[in-house]
Amino acid sequence: MKIGIVCYPTFGGSGVVATELGKALSKEGHKIHFITYSQPSRLDLFNENLFYHEVDIKSYPLFEHAPYELALASKMVNVVKYEELDLLHVHYAIPHASAAYMAKQILKEQGVHIPVVTTLHGTDITLVGKDPSYEPVVTFSINKSDGVTAVSEDLRRATFEHFDVKRHIEVIPNFIDLERFKRQKKEHFKRAICPNGEKLLVHTSNFRKVKRVEDVLKVFKKVRKVIPVKLLLVGDGPERDKMERLCRQYDTCEDVRFLGKLEAVEEVLSLADLFLMPSEKESFGLAALEAMACEVPVLSSNAGGIPELNLDGVTGYVCDVGDVETMTERALEILSDENLPRFKENALARAKDFDVSKILPLYEAFYQKTVENAVLELAK
């Protein structure tokens, strides 16, 4: 198939999933056309089946905000027409689903019929999308998509709860490339970070409020009173300064390192004994899946779709959002020498359920079904 993929190229899990999906599909022989405002950060592979079309956002002194959605819709129209695409797959509803609807209508006037698949990723539904300033457009564009997928059962449920959506939503979870995300032997690095055999806790995120990084620091402070531990924080975002101050206030800085954004996150995960994800909202938790693939148990909140991935008492523990007391008890339980090997083994076994080889066929089958239904619709 010839597929156009639209996503946010630089930040967030939705862009990572979209780019990895496009790369995997291209290896299966599909022709994949990325339509984004800059080169997706994970599009690091040369392949004859991969193409990149940059959205040209023209500004003008009259515009306080450049009309990105219009530039995107225009680009979609041209790419669909000139590359003869079979399907458009847009990731993150805002504003990609409504821009795709507009492109579809323009193309229809020209006798070109393009089915649109929208994948809902999380905050496009649970946070930004349900805000009254976007809700009517999000509802409309979900209902007008030819196919809709959500990355967890919980996100599907939340979509029906918050929006007047009257159509089927297929759940297709996030996936992982186990060739890339696997535990690497990094003993020398581990000894440098944990010279006295301390246990290593890791958190990776974009340091937004919904990630509750302060709970990571609170749990770490409490665990550190009981056993020797170190903490690595990977990523960057609006809450980072505040977290650095909190770390000083807790007097834990000598055992905490802020590493900033890292490309090879799997190298850090390969050292970890426990991954922390205390998020307030999390539709799936791709970062936790990456940790599990590197044999790292997960201590998480029970937000959104996380419990569908992190099996309570098996691959780690799932606690109420903000319950740092229970999180601390659970962290100590996982980190005990007696329990840790079992949790690590279970984490890897669970990650295998989400291997790209298992999830990719679900997308391919969904595309096929969507195209067939669109043809039937047209014939009516």
When asked if residue 75 is in the footprint of ligand GMT (CB under 6 A), the reply is no
Q: How far apart are CA 220 and CA 213, in angstroms?
A: 11
Please report, for residues 236, 275, 371, the alpha-carbon distance to residue 231 in angstroms, rounded to integers and kept in the order given: 15, 10, 48
Contact 113/86 with Cβ under 8 angstroms?
Answer: no
Of residues 38, 63, 62, 71, the one with CA closest to residue 52 = 38
Q: How far apart are CA 303 and CA 278, in angstroms?
A: 8
When asked if residue 285 is in the footprint of ligand GMT (CB under 6 A), the reply is yes
Contact 201/232 with Cβ under 8 angstroms?
Answer: yes
Of residues 196, 195, 162, 107, the one with CA closest to residue 281 = 162
Residue type, 227: I
Q: How far apart are CA 353 and CA 162, in angstroms?
A: 29
Among 9, 12, 115, 297, binds ligand GMT (CB under 6 A): 12
Nearer to ligand GMT, 123 or 141 (CB): 123
The alpha-helical segments, DSSP class H, found in the chain are: 13-27, 68-83, 93-109, 123-126, 135-144, 153-162, 187-193, 213-224, 240-249, 265-269, 286-293, 306-309, 324-335, 340-352, 356-379
The interface mask with ligand GMT, positions 197-216, x = CB under 6 A, is ---------x---x------
Candidates 181-189, 230-238, 257-265, 280-288 — which segment interacts with ligand GMT by CB under 6 A?
Answer: 280-288
When asked if residue 367 is in the footprint of ligand GMT (CB under 6 A), the reply is no
Shortest Cβ distance from residue 139 to ligand GMT (Å)?
18
Shortest Cβ distance from residue 98 to ligand GMT (Å)?
16
Candidates 11-19, 40-48, 56-64, 364-372 — which segment interacts with ligand GMT by CB under 6 A?
Answer: 11-19
Candidates 24-32, 100-108, 229-237, 279-287 — which segment interacts with ligand GMT by CB under 6 A?
Answer: 279-287
Interacting positions 133-192 with ligand GMT (CB under 6 A) = 151, 174
Candidates 33-41, 59-67, 276-284, 362-370 — which segment interacts with ligand GMT by CB under 6 A?
Answer: 276-284
Shortest Cβ distance from residue 15 to ligand GMT (Å)?
6
For tokens 């690091």, name the residue: 44
Nearer to ligand GMT, 229 or 304 (CB): 304
Nearer to ligand GMT, 149 or 328 (CB): 149
Shortest Cβ distance from residue 339 to ligand GMT (Å)?
26
Contact residues toward ligand GMT (CB under 6 A) are 12-14, 17, 92, 121-123, 151, 174, 206, 210, 281-286, 304
